[in-house]
Structure 1
Amino acid sequence: MQAPSPAQTLAKPPIALLATIGALTFIDFLQNGMVAFAAAPIMGEIGASPEEYANVAVVYACVAVVMIALQGWLVHHLGLRRYLLASLASTAAGALVCALSRDEAGFLLGRVLMAVGCAAMLTSSRLAVNLIPPGPARFHGIKALATGLCTGTALAPWLASVAVDHDGWPLMFWLAAALAMLAMVPVALAMPGREGGATVAGQARLAPIAALGLGSFLLLHALQRSYYDFFSERWLLLLYAAAGLAALAYFAHSETRNGAPLLKLGGMKEARFLSGLALFMLCYLMLGANGYLVPLMLQRGLGQSWSTAGEFFALGLGAGVLTFAMMSQLLPRWPSPRKFFVAGFLALAAFGALMSRLTPTANLWADVFPALACYGMFIMIVMPTTAMQTFTGLTRDPAVFAHAQQVKNMLAQIGQALGIMVATVGQQWFASRHYDALTRGIAAGNARFEAAMRQLTDYFSTMADPVQAQQMAMAQIAQMVSQQSALLANLDHFRVLAAVALAGALVSLAQRVFR
């Protein structure tokens, strides 16, 4: 391949290419964020229980993992342009099926089609950046990718709340379908066909691919079910997880032994890549855990409406968009990553500390928004910096670089599920401890309990007989104890989060891998 001229290196990339790079990450993060935030109204409309909705998420993630692994093979046989057009068509078709579905089966089918399409969008976006010749111009591609990612993440809660409040949840999927169709235009204009020199495909063998899909399902199923069954069926869940890990280990072993693997795992034993992978996993764990807990905290802990929770979550993440806009100016001049990692983890620590001090009377602008802004800053400082630093040692081999991107995005599916599991199991444990402590105070002789009982009994006596009034008063106190224990559990989560973030800042200062 002929080396690019200085003029090519310095020229700004074509608008269609930058639009493709940004659109792919925007669509992926927007649709995933909207579906996660709007889980409750979607469940109500399609008649799915939380367990059934969780199963839909597990199937989506498993299909995504398999499709990410097959991406190189598919691009090799179809060409990048036709592969992306087919992906966008599958995304649009799946979104339309979801919008029109009225039961769990239809919604599951739509999400499977969306997983087939959206699975490798982030990987494709990053690999499309490499179509820009090395040099300062390539940073425009990185900025387009990160802009799509952070704006999609930030807009998702707000758009989900607007859609549900005005025209119902199907509007989210009509929007995703329209965006996927629109993105076909820059893809058709900018992406190369089979003549583009796709990475070596490797062999798509049935047994390893089946092991990858089954292992992902068992592991993710164990993580999802832990919300409901961790304390009652922990050994069965551990068995599922162990079987899933064994299947994934078989996939990894077969790929390293294969002469033409789908993923060149053996070429990824670099300390910089493995450290970056650990950082990515932490970020995706935070996305899963806080994406679940923050709306819950705003709604149940602070008594805010669903739409208000969406608006403020979006505003907080929007602060991250502004943060990245500033970072995009600083990174070319001061590329050393350590200071960004330290700043990002300090922002996460501030988020945890501020959230752990909230009370039911907290002011949204004065107390909640600064905390959410710090969380947005963490996401948009640490994730782009990690993305720029993790793969620098793998760029010499285009195949290893592409496969490393695929591995990272496969682990992202597991990382977010793991984050939700950690948050939900932690909530159960913390809430049970607080509930036990609070219920010990509900006994005769406790002055505060007896005073509350008298007040509530007097209140309910105006609408029921004395016996019923006393029962209603006791039920009200039990409900208050349950709500209080849930709120205290949320505060404990954010205290632990602040401690983890401070440890991350210290590690960032001491480490010598990213300098």
Structure 2
Amino acid sequence: MVQTAEDDLVEYGFRRVIITITAVLCALLEIVDTTIVNVALNNMRGSLGATLTDIAWVITAYAIANVIVIPMTSWLSQQFGRRNYFAASIIIFTVASFLCGNADNIWELVAFRFIQGLGGGALLVTAQTIITESYPAAKRGMAQAIYGMGVIVGPTLGPPLGGYIVDHFSWPYIFYINIPIGIIATILTLMFVKSPKYGDKLKANQVDWWGIFFLASFIGSLQFVLEHGQQDDWFNDNLITTLSLVSVFGLLLFIKRELTYKHPIVNLKVLKDTNLRVGTIMSFIMGFGLYGSTFIVPIYTQSVLGWSATDAGLLLIPSSITTGIMMPFIGKMIQRGIPQSYMVAVGFLIFFFFTFWMHNIITPNTGANQMFWPLILRGVGLGLLFVPITTLSLSTLKGKHIGEGAAFTGMMRQLGGSFGIAIITTFMAIFNQQHRVNLISHLDQTSFQVQQTVQRLQQGFMSKGFTFNEALAKAYKAIEFKVMVQSSVLTYMDIFMYLGILFLLCIPFILMIKKGKNKIDPADAMH
């Protein structure tokens, strides 16, 4: 078959609008589903009779399936035709959503979530490739801006939407809402999306089965280690140690296989492109910040401030709306030729200001008003990161390499998020313990001030009808609770400070790389 000219895929007018809506809708479906279950885990646990460790698999299974399938999407699109593969992925995702809602026990739900993740991972990258190729080269920045609105808003929409559904209906409905959207998206895909022709399909004996096996063992094991390492005490646990070794050897064997096999499942040679190499590293760091901050803020508001899941989720919405509003302006700035590396550097700097501001305002009773402007700043920072990083990564790629490049940036963003959450939870446990020990060491029972506080609390409890001994025990409990809250607050302050330092350290790295290698102007390279 003859390779289709790239321009054949560019759409105009009504068709382009429909294709864009379909692709963004599918990306949104996939991303909302990664976070929507977080607030429903308690209800699922109750109705399915699962333990806390068991229920965590509902998130882990989906994430593992996601990161395994993302690097393979470009290859699968070429094998089955992009339109057919995209439609099949939506159907798999939609059917699995129905089965998740109908699951009778925890392991049924985990199995269906894995299948849902296999369909969902494909939606994300294929949607990005479809949007990129539907726009002429000069408007690619705007195309990424439109796609970026879905990707950035998605993680934030999940918790409040999940909280509302769980509070007003029941947990299966967080899966059922995917069904009507999935049906509409499937019909629109079959009617409007085109498939590029990329040479002949491979025969079954040419398929890179070893590549698939090494990729699945590397990514699957790594994702499990990241999700369960903290609760299982990292390398003191035999399973975590074994899977870490599997992951390392899986990666080495995967790289060797892909560089030597004639028909690799993932084309690693595409990483020779300087812009894509830089873009994948920056995608990783952005995933770290995006998912890391989306993870910390709701936990802080729920565990320290005592907010409901819905309120905690709603707090992040203005930040996402800010990012959404910024997207078209950033698309225009890229079209005017403003270097993406400068925009990314400013984005990281703004993210540093956001974390520094949060570090300074966190207390045991911080209000939503105090967090409003820092979170708006977060939205501005994310806007300056997402579109420039994505367009920079894909700007010098052509034809089927666009899909392969999109797969790399998508996978690195997801892995950055997983690393971010794993590292943050580990450090939270370490810092919390340290602060608790420090605070307790300052509570000297012989100190007059401590004795006064205990007496005041004891008298308060006795006035409510408790006996002398009961009131004394409750007074000590109350002091212990205050220590716990205070150590939590200090921990969140530390986490924000270190996150900010990480982003600050990235800035010279970004500017240095682009100055040293910037022989091709990204804006010109797109033509």
The two structures have a TM-score, normalised by structure 2, of 0.88
What amino acid is the match of 1:208? Answer: G
- For the pair 1:284 / 2:279, whether they are aligned, the reply is no
Matches within 5 A, 1:147-162: 147-162=149-164
Find the counterpart in structure 1 of residue 415 from structure 2: 414
Task: Check conservation: 1:55, 1:221, Cα contact below 8 A.
Answer: no
Find the counterpart in structure 2 of residue 244 from structure 1: 247
Structure 2, unpaired ranges of 5+: 522-527
Superimposed CA distance per residue, residues 104-129 of structure 1 (whole angstroms, 9 cap, x where no aligned partner): 12321221221121111121112213
Shift in Å at residue 254 of structure 1?
Answer: 0.7
Find the counterpart in structure 1 of residue 363 from structure 2: 359
Task: Check conservation: 1:153, 1:317, Cα contact below 8 A.
Answer: no
Find the counterpart in structure 2 of residue 46 from structure 1: 48
Superimposed CA distance per residue, residues 335-375 of structure 1 (whole angstroms, 9 cap, x where no aligned partner): 3113311321122112111211221232312x111122222
Cα RMSD after superposing both structures: 2.6
Shift in Å at residue 3 of structure 1?
Answer: 7.9
Find the counterpart in structure 2 of residue 488 from structure 1: 490
Find the counterpart in structure 2 of residue 436 from structure 1: 437
Shift in Å at residue 479 of structure 1?
Answer: 2.1
Structure 1 residues 128 and 198: CA distance shift in structure 2, 3 A: farther
Shift in Å at residue 235 of structure 1?
Answer: 7.5
What amino acid is the match of 1:204? Answer: V
Matches within 5 A, 1:290-301: 290-301=293-304
Shift in Å at residue 19 of structure 1?
Answer: 1.9
- For the pair 1:27 / 2:25, whether they are aligned, the reply is no
Task: Check conservation: 1:199, 1:399, Cα contact below 8 A.
Answer: no
Structure 1 residues 447 and 326: CA distance shift in structure 2, 3 A: farther
Shift in Å at residue 279 of structure 1?
Answer: 0.5
Structure 1 residues 211 and 9: CA distance shift in structure 2, 3 A: closer
What amino acid is the match of 1:89? Answer: I
Matches within 5 A, 1:162-241: 162-192=164-194, 196-198=196-198, 203-230=206-233, 233=236, 237-241=240-244
Superimposed CA distance per residue, residues 179-225 of structure 1 (whole angstroms, 9 cap, x where no aligned partner): 111211220111235xx414666643333322222222222222122
What amino acid is the match of 1:428? Answer: A
Match of 1:476 among 453, 475, 478: 478
Superimposed CA distance per residue, residues 438-495 of structure 1 (whole angstroms, 9 cap, x where no aligned partner): 1112332223322221122112223332222212221222222122211110111001
Shift in Å at residue 4 of structure 1?
Answer: 5.0
Task: Check conservation: 1:315, 1:373, Cα contact below 8 A.
Answer: yes
Find the counterpart in structure 1 of residue 447 from structure 2: 446
Task: Check conservation: 2:132, 2:144, Cα contact below 8 A.
Answer: no
Match of 2:119 among 103, 117, 120: 117
Deviates more, 1:50-59 or 1:379-388: 50-59
Task: Check conservation: 2:279, 2:409, Cα contact below 8 A.
Answer: no
Task: Check conservation: 1:303, 1:360, Cα contact below 8 A.
Answer: no
Structure 1 residues 505 and 37: CA distance shift in structure 2, 3 A: farther
Structure 1, unpaired ranges of 5+: none
Shift in Å at residue 137 of structure 1?
Answer: 5.0
Task: Check conservation: 2:64, 2:220, Cα contact below 8 A.
Answer: yes
Superimposed CA distance per residue, residues 294-353 of structure 1 (whole angstroms, 9 cap, x where no aligned partner): 101111222322221111122222221122233233332243113311321122112111
Find the counterpart in structure 1 of residue 405 from structure 2: 404
Structure 1 residues 297 and 184: CA distance shift in structure 2, 3 A: same
Task: Check conservation: 1:439, 1:481, Cα contact below 8 A.
Answer: yes
Superimposed CA distance per residue, residues 64-91 of structure 1 (whole angstroms, 9 cap, x where no aligned partner): 2333344344333432222222111111
Superimposed CA distance per residue, residues 15-70 of structure 1 (whole angstroms, 9 cap, x where no aligned partner): 22222222222212222232345444444443333322333333223322333344
Match of 2:305 among 292, 302, 305: 302
Deviates more, 1:456-465 or 1:382-391: 456-465
CA distance in 2 between counterparts of 1:72 and 1:337 reads 25
Find the counterpart in structure 1 of residue 73 from structure 2: 71
Find the counterpart in structure 2 of residue 268 from structure 1: 271
Task: Check conservation: 2:351, 2:381, Cα contact below 8 A.
Answer: yes
- For the pair 1:315 / 2:326, whether they are aligned, the reply is no
Task: Check conservation: 1:59, 1:217, Cα contact below 8 A.
Answer: no
Structure 1 residues 447 and 331: CA distance shift in structure 2, 3 A: farther
What amino acid is the match of 2:136? Answer: P
SS at match of 2:136: coil
Structure 1 residues 98 and 133: CA distance shift in structure 2, 3 A: closer
Shift in Å at residue 152 of structure 1?
Answer: 2.6
Task: Check conservation: 1:16, 1:189, Cα contact below 8 A.
Answer: no
SS at match of 1:227: coil
The two structures have a TM-score, normalised by structure 1, of 0.90
Deviates more, 1:53-62 or 1:39-48: 39-48
Task: Check conservation: 1:13, 1:137, Cα contact below 8 A.
Answer: no
Structure 1 residues 448 and 190: CA distance shift in structure 2, 3 A: farther
CA distance in 2 between counterparts of 1:201 and 1:421 reads 39
What amino acid is the match of 1:92? Answer: T
Matches within 5 A, 1:129-140: 129-132=131-134, 134-139=136-141
Find the counterpart in structure 2 of residue 328 from structure 1: 331
